[in-house]
Amino acid sequence: MDAFISNLGLIINATLTATPPLLFAALGSCFSERSGVVNIGIEGMMTVGAFSGSVIALYTGNGWLAFLAAGIFGALVALIHAYACISCGADQTISGTAINFLAPGLAIFICRAMFDNSSDTPPIDTTAKIPKLFDGVFEVGSFGYNVFSTYAAAYLCFILVAVVWFIFYKTKFGMRLRAVGEHPKACDTLGINVFRIRYICVITSGFLAGLGGAYITLATVNQFRPALIVGQGFIAIAAVIFGKFTPQGAMKGCLLFGLCNGIKTLASTNPNIAISPNLISMIPYIVTIVALVLFVGKSHVPAASGKPYTKSK
Amino acid sequence: MNNKKTILQTIKDSSVLYTLIAIITGFVVGAVLLAVIGINPLEAYGKLADGIFGKPKYIAWSIVYASPLILTGLSVAFSFKTGVFNIGAEGQFVVGSMAACIVGVCLDLPPVLHVFACALAAMVAGALWGTIVAVLKVKKGINEVLSYIMFNWIAYYLSNYLVNTEFLHNEGNAEATKDIVDSASIICPDFITKLTDCKNTNWGIVIAVVAAIVIWFIISKTTLGFQLRAVGFNKNAAEYGGINSNAAVMKAMAISGAMAGLGGMVQLCGMGSRISQFSGQEGFGFEGISVALIASSNPIGCIFSGIFYGMMKYGGTKLTLINAPSEVIDIIMGVIVLFIAISHIFRYLLNKKKGGK
């Protein structure tokens, strides 16, 4: 029984470590997608967030400041995407693909210029990281420590789910946001500024993706490396589609990935389990597909998704 | 006079012009960034050009780098024609090289036949990987972008699993499979590799060009191609016209997967000759997206954009010699794709100027 509780604690801990970066980015993706702008560039925005977060923590020694700044840098990258897609009517998939080459390239480029041609940033001090909650309250390694004493931003992302849900379904802005993603022309007729709402949503998506990236460099590990993000932005997008483009659904998707990751971590450290770690690593992806086929089914993509909106005269 | 005007208009309407504008913009942005970090852009671009064109050997290497990219580019371009975004070329590429590896290591066939067997296995594997996603999309309504991403990762871990299986694992090398036997290799005979001074000079470029022509033929000259384009253009109208759009989408996704799989085979049989344990996604599929976009999804254009990408990728490795970050290549490619995305703005501006006269 003790072993069970301790294992459970480890799984919850690993889930809490793997989920937040995905969840921040996924909430960002919700904003963008629901307003009708496909944002494949989440991945690149996360990378920029991860890099800028680690650099700012390195120089200021303030984890929270770095976290916030990472979001702003993510938002700046999103501004490029927003300008191309909304003002120029670019193909959103193409623009997003461009962002995914441009943004990580830029991050590593600047990293090399700053740190003596190294593609990794120097490690940041523990004091410059995002603080852990209840530090010192629980015995290290105990169930309570594993479940409650993780990085504060991990809890923040779950609170954000509620906030985003509230914005989406209980505010005027949220209603307009959803309407703009379904039928921009009708919104325009009613005097809603489609461009403005889409700009806000895409920039918000970059901000949240930046936070997701920074969570990795400021909490999970303590430095930026090129291979740090690879794929996570896409997983976040997958989680959003899985969750039918709702914040609460996206959370379920992210938790599914996080949980499978937790089980994977536990299984790969347990010598009694003889299954190849590579096969165990496939579980989250297979589970996602199976869950979609069996339980979730078809998801409604916002009707105006991917279509540039141009005012016709 | 009239004639001259039409030529000017043809140039203005052609996407090649806008692609060139995008490429120039990409290099300009790259130059500015290099200058900002204190590297002379002329020196860096000189090194890049020298690293691509300086010796026949470099050109040969660039083409070796280009061949798999042309094929993944074709894969993505073909899917775009039907309105599907094949972000799964990455995974199809990986299963293609896995299938080619199994056939290349385990079978004992006469030389040319063996290569064909590898290519066939790779195409079938890639097509199968694409078809699973197509079935999920058509039968279950599951968003293909999501399943493509999932299948990229499943392929990734499957490949790492395969590297460590007993029948393929290389005893001498802890992190790779056995080498494919010589009969499965597509590396050119000695007299050619001596001539080019590049030990991996291979037939991949021939395979890629033939594939591009076949894809061009399918798209523009066959009923299937017509159906695919019709579905991509307007699904409802196509169905009204009696085209089974689901069947068309499935065929497109399968053919698209086959091309990416073939790309994996070319890389394996011409370059690596074994599969190594991955530590991160290799990106051939994602680079293929750029190749397809730079070519405006034109299959013949993919040959040129693929070679361009191959050159940049190979030449970029030389930048480290002058301590310039090779990531400037990613930035240049990103800017190029971004400007292609907004190229219709230039078109609009150019034509508006003319209209104002």
Task: State the smallest CA–CA distance between residue A180 and chain B in angstroms.
Answer: 21
Question: Is position A48 within any domain?
Answer: yes
Phi and psi, residue A37, nearest 5°: -115, 115
Helix (H) or strand (E) holding B283: none
CA dihedral B283, B286, B288, B291 (to 10 degrees): -110
* pLDDT beyond 50 at B1: no
Cα–Cα distance for residue pair B113/B122, rounded to 1 Å: 14
Cα–Cα distance for residue pair A311/A92, rounded to 1 Å: 17
Cα–Cα distance for residue pair B48/B39, rounded to 1 Å: 13
Higher pLDDT pick, A311 / B34: B34
> Is the CB of residue A120 less than 8 Å away from at least one CB of chain B?
no
Contact B94, B148 (CB under 8 A): no
Rounded CA Rg of chain B: 21
> Is the CB of residue B341 less than 8 Å away from at least one CB of chain A?
yes
Cα–Cα distance for residue pair B134/B140, rounded to 1 Å: 10
Cα–Cα distance for residue pair A82/A125, rounded to 1 Å: 35
Residue A147, pLDDT score: 77
Contact A28, A250 (CB under 8 A): no
CA closest to A298 among chain B residues:
B141
CB spacing of B141 vs A109 below 8 angstroms: no
CB within 8 Å of chain B, chain A residues 236-255: 237-238, 241-242
Question: Is position A71 within any domain?
Answer: yes
Residue B232, pLDDT score: 84
Residue B276, pLDDT score: 85
Residue with tokens 């033939």: B210
Structure tokens at B213: 């022509």
Q: How many domains does chain A have?
A: 1
Contact A123, A222 (CB under 8 A): yes
CB within 8 Å of chain A, chain B residues 227-256: none
Task: State the smallest CA–CA distance between residue B217 and chain A in angstroms.
Answer: 25
Per-residue pLDDT reduced to its tens digit, B273-306: 888 888 778 889 999 999 999 998 899 999 999 9
Residue B343, pLDDT score: 81
> Is the CB of residue B140 less than 8 Å away from at least one CB of chain A?
yes
Distances (CA, A) of B182 to B105, B189, B224, B270, B276: 9, 11, 37, 11, 18
Helix (H) or strand (E) holding A40: none
Question: Any idea what the CATH number is for the domain that residue A238 is in?
Answer: 1.10.3470
Q: Give the dihedral sign, CA B228/B234/B235/B236.
A: negative
| Pairs of CB atoms within 8 A across A/B | 147
Tell me what the mean pLDDT of segment B75-83 comes to.
91
Question: Is position A312 within any domain?
Answer: no
Cα–Cα distance for residue pair A17/A261, rounded to 1 Å: 9
Task: State the smallest CA–CA distance between residue A22 and chain B in angstroms.
Answer: 15
> Is the CB of residue B349 less than 8 Å away from at least one CB of chain A?
no
Question: Is position A308 within any domain?
Answer: no
Task: State the smallest CA–CA distance between residue A190 and chain B in angstroms.
Answer: 28
Residue with tokens 């998704």: A305
Nearest-by-Cβ selection for B341 from A84, A281, A282: A84
Question: Is position A303 within any domain?
Answer: no
Higher pLDDT pick, B183 / A135: B183
Residue B356, pLDDT score: 44
Average pLDDT, chain B: 88
The model's confidence at residue B354, banded by pLDDT at 50, 70 and 90, is low
Domain residues for the domain of A54 are 2-296
Contact B271, B198 (CB under 8 A): no
Question: Domain ranges in chain B?
Answer: 68-308
Residue B138 CB partners (closer than 8 Å, separation 6+): B246, B249, B250
Q: Which residues from B are below 8 Å from A238, CB to CB?
A: 145-146, 149-150
CA closest to B292 among chain A residues:
A94
Cα–Cα distance for residue pair B94/B68, rounded to 1 Å: 12
Give, for all 313 residues of chain A, the pLDDT tens digit: 677 787 788 888 888 888 999 999 999 999 999 999 999 899 999 999 999 999 999 999 898 999 999 999 999 999 999 999 998 888 888 899 899 989 999 999 999 999 988 888 999 888 888 888 777 777 777 777 777 778 888 889 999 999 999 999 999 999 999 999 999 989 988 889 999 999 999 999 999 999 999 999 998 888 999 888 878 898 899 899 888 899 999 999 999 888 888 887 777 777 777 778 888 888 888 888 888 788 766 667 788 887 888 876 4
Nearest-by-Cβ selection for A98 from B38, B136, B334: B334
Cα–Cα distance for residue pair A194/A307, rounded to 1 Å: 13
Contact A148, A138 (CB under 8 A): yes
Phi and psi, residue B290, nearest 5°: -65, -45
Residue with tokens 């990219």: B69
Task: State the smallest CA–CA distance between residue A113 and chain B in angstroms.
Answer: 6
* pLDDT beyond 90 at B73: yes
> Is the CB of residue B138 less than 8 Å away from at least one CB of chain A?
no
Instruction: Indicate the residue type of A218.
Output: L
Task: State the smallest CA–CA distance between residue B59 and chain A in angstroms.
Answer: 24
> Is the CB of residue A68 less than 8 Å away from at least one CB of chain B?
no
Nearest-by-Cβ selection for B157 from A90, A103, A282: A282
Closest CA to A51 of A204, A206, A214: A214
> Is the CB of residue B139 less than 8 Å away from at least one CB of chain A?
no
Structure tokens at A34: 């629901």
Question: Is position A304 within any domain?
Answer: no
Structure tokens at B316: 């970029």
